[in-house]
């Protein structure tokens, strides 16, 4: 009866859900938490310098609009949702134009600059992980009001939830603030403990399908090369070793949760390795530059913030868009590799494209 009444109200007010929802696909929605790898514009609404809702960001996004994605186009939140046939782009939860359709098919709670350590988010004035969790709880209330309790529970249980965190904790908070006062193994244990608590919290809220993304190869980011790669800007090996250490422990934590929590399909997703493969052999995947950011190019090969004056003519030939974020094309290749390993049926124009080592 509750579901019937909700349906009548929605039809009365002219609210229609997309065909994908009506058809009740295997993946009805996609959600994301974490940092700038998955943020689709939440930082636009914050008093922070960590935002990118200005040109040249978004130059290759539909309409050439700078939406707040830390990329020249779509990021993995959008690309995975599109490949799985959910929708082409995923809006930020803090967007002022959210519709009932958006709520039912997925939103992003991610915030560029955030991390598993609250200090990481506080440094940059962005959304902490506990606050992202609180936003998700608020979202569940809105979803339930829109589609009813039963359908809301079905959406939460069958949708995919992406989580990307650890990048900023290691590259910023630890490297710049804590390296001289705290042993790295202790910090990693702290980060992984926070990650496990977060994964348990969303499980308790009805989530059952989670993809926990590894960090990027932090030492090979343009910013990492500039700050710790020496005058020739090699990949900074210490940063990569730290990233691998974190990724290994995160993977073990995910395996432990999957084994102990009933019906919890939580998976560790390695993005470190496919990105490193591209970086070490960019020409094999059609890239000409793997060390500099397309819009961060500056004299003497020093990467800075995105500059409209310095943007490269063809981002698709660059692995990186700015000092710390890949281009849409690099993201697309890695996402496609992930989906193939996950054995997911995809609806992507890149479905037959793979990374060549």
Active site (catalytic) residues: 36, 322, 325
Cβ neighbors of 12 (< 8 A, separation 6 or more) are: none
Map tokens 């849409």 to a residue. Answer: 328
**349: number of Cβ within 10 Å:** 11
- What CA–CA distance (Å, rounded) separates 357 from 355? 6
Q: What is the rounded radius of gyration, in angstroms, for the C-alpha atoms of the chain? A: 20
HSE (side-chain half, CA atoms, 13 Å) at 181: 5
Locus of tokens 């193939």: 340
136: closest CA among 17, 211, 33?
A: 33
Cα–Cα nearest to 214, from 170, 161, 171, 271: 271
CA distance linking residue 23 with residue 5, whole number of Å: 20
The strand ranges marked E within 122-169 are 160-164
Q: How many CA atoms lie within 13 A of 274 on its CB side?
A: 22
């Amino acid at each position: 009866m509750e579901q019937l009444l909700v349906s009548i109200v929605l039809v009365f007010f002219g609210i229609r859900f997309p065909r994908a929802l009506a058809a009740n696909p295997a993946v009805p929605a996609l959600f994301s938490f974490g940092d700038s790898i998955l943020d689709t514009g939440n930082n636009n609404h914050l008093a922070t310098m960590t935002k990118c809702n200005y040109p040249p960001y978004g130059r290759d996004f539909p309409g050439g609009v700078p939406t707040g994605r830390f990329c020249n186009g779509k990021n993995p939140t959008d690309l995975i949702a599109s490949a799985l046939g959910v929708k082409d782009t995923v809006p930020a939860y803090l967007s002022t134009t959210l519709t009932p359709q958006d709520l039912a098919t997925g939103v992003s709670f991610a915030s560029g600059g955030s991390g598993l350590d609250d200090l990481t988010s506080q440094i940059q004035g962005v959304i902490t992980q506990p606050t992202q969790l609180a936003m998700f709880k608020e979202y569940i209330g809105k979803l339930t009001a829109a589609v009813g309790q039963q359908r809301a529970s079905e959406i939460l249980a069958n949708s995919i939830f992406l989580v990307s965190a650890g990048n900023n904790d290691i590259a910023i908070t630890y490297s710049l603030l804590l390296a001289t006062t705290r042993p790295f193994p202790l910090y990693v244990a702290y980060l992984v403990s926070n990650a496990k608590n977060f994964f348990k919290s969303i499980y308790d809220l009805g989530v059952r399908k989670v993809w926990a993304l590894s960090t990027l190869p932090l030492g090979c980011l343009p910013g990492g090369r500039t700050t710790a790669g020496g005058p020739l800007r090699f990949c900074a090996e210490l940063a990569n070793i730290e990233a691998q250490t974190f990724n290994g422990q995160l993977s073990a934590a995910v395996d432990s949760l999957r084994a102990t929590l009933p019906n919890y399909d939580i998976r560790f997703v390695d993005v470190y390795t496919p990105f490193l493969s591209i970086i070490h052999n960019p020409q094999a995947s059609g890239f000409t530059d793997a060390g500099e950011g397309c819009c961060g190019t500056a004299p003497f090969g020093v990467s800075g913030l995105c500059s409209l004056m310095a943007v490269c003519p063809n981002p698709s030939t660059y692995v990186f868009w700015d000092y710390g974020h890949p281009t849409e094309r690099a993201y697309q290749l890695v996402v496609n590799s992930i989906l193939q390993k996950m054995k997911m049926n995809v609806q992507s124009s890149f479905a037959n494209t793979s990374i060549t080592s």
